[in-house]
Structures are given as structure tokens and as C-alpha cells.
Amino acid sequence: MTRLLQVDAFADGPFTGNPAAVAILEKPRDESWMQRVAQEMNLSETAFVLPAGSDWAIRWFTPTTEVALCGHATLASFHALREEGKVGDSVTFSSASGPLVARAVGDRVELDFPATPPERCDEPEGLLDALGLADAKHIARSRHDVLVEVGEQKELTDLYPDFRALSGVDARGVIVTAMADEGGEGLDFVSRFFAPRAGVDEDPVTGSAHCALAPYWSAKLGARPLRAKQLSRRSGRLEVELRGDRVALRGQAVTVLAGELRV
């Protein structure tokens, strides 16, 4: 049987942040089996981790497809492995995006991910209409996603995209971001992430999107630790720090379910 945990990542407590399933494999399994498990779990990501020498290999699946990089499910995987006594205070995951280091920093997990700085681009056909926006301050494209900056936080919270139209945009997903409102929460920037093309209309908290947001906002606000919040219904907080061509992503996690997969 396969040990299976559900972990809320980038979460202040249970039922916040982004839930991910983590399957701790004892032997390799084929892609079709992993895809069926991810479909059964019906979360934005299911991670599969397998011992690989002194390290661990990791793969990520949405309910419909495998993806090349996922932050919250990597954070969840380290949290699950540590809770199960499989690793100590750090681990290196081998992945489709190269080696990824996760380590405990106080009560948080820090991920070391590749930066994916976005470059200005023309508007992909139909993008703003699909988002329900009349215009945008900036449109750019990173390795995985299209990034759209809007003028203020309220524009972001008021978005109701046409997900069918948005799935026609040629990118894994669409990041929409704004500078955070001044005052109460002490945030630097906010965002939302839509990926209907990958089977996830809106992702609650997207670590890999912050690999583009970190260099983008660091260029505007200065290369320092930045406090971010993803404004999904569940919402989630993280801290990001640009380190050359890498990004440190820091957040908390909590296990909400643990059991055995009997297939």
C-alpha cells in the first residue's frame, strides 16, 4: 500500500492555503496510474515522491495533466516526508525542473526554485476579454505563464474570468497581479492564478507562479524579501526572495488527512 497524505500548503492553518495530495511511493509507478490517482484526488496537484539514492524524485499531476513545476505540492511533499520520519531538516528533490531544495526554517518551509523572469510581450489574442479587463498596466510572458499587472488590488478581487475563453490562451496559466493596498496586512503584492488549460480554473496558492512574480516585483520594489498573498477564496500567504537566478519561497503547511492508497 502507498502512504497518502493531504497537506494544506502556504497555509496559516487547516482549510486555508492550497491543498495537495502527496503519495509516498516505495517503487516506481507508471504515468497512467499516477494520472488516475491525481484524477481521483481531484486537487489542483498531486505529488508523487520516490526515494532516489540519498535524495527523492518528485513528479506533479493535476487532474488532467503532468506539470513541470509546482511549488505548493513540493512544500507539501517535504512537510509530509518530514512528518512521516523519512527526511530530516532538508531534502533535495530531483525533478523535471532540475534539483529543488526544501528545508525547514523555524516553523516554515523554504523552497529553492529556479527564477522564471517574465519578459514584456504583446497581448495574447483574447486574453483581456477572457479576463474581463478593459486594459492592463503590463503584459509579460515567463517560461510557463502569462503575467498581467493591473492598476489596483480591487481590480484583482473583482475579476470573474471566462474560463472557457481563457483556456484558449497558449500558456500553462495566467497570473494576474497588483501592488498590495497600503495599510493593514503589510503586504507588498497580491495575485491570482488561473490555469483552465491545465484543468485548474483557479489555483488557491501557486508557488511556481511566484518564480515569475518574485523577479517581476523585485525589479519594481527592490530585491529584498517580499510579502505576498494570493487572493483566491481560500487565500494563502508566502514570502519570496530573489537570489540571482533562484527564488526562495517560504510558507507554512499543515496535514489534514493521512491514510493508505490500496491500489
Would you call 212 helix, strand, or coil by DSSP? helix
Alpha carbon distances (Å) from 204 to 120, 138, 169, 230, 260: 25, 23, 20, 7, 25
CB 61 within 8 A of CB 45: yes
Question: What does the block give as the cell for 211?
Answer: 518564480
Amino acid at 248: A
Chain centre to alpha carbon of residue 247: 13
Q: Which residue out of 40, 45, 239, 260 is catalytically annotated? A: 45
- Distant-in-sequence, close-in-space partners of 124: CB < 8 Å, separation ≥ 6: 139, 146, 169, 170, 171
CB 124 within 8 A of CB 131: no
CB 217 within 8 A of CB 187: no
45 classed as catalytic? yes
Would you call 258 helix, strand, or coil by DSSP? strand
Helix residue spans in the chain (DSSP H): 31-41, 71-83, 127-131, 153-157, 163-166, 210-221
CB 215 within 8 A of CB 241: no
Would you call 175 helix, strand, or coil by DSSP? strand
Q: Which residues are catalytic?
A: 45
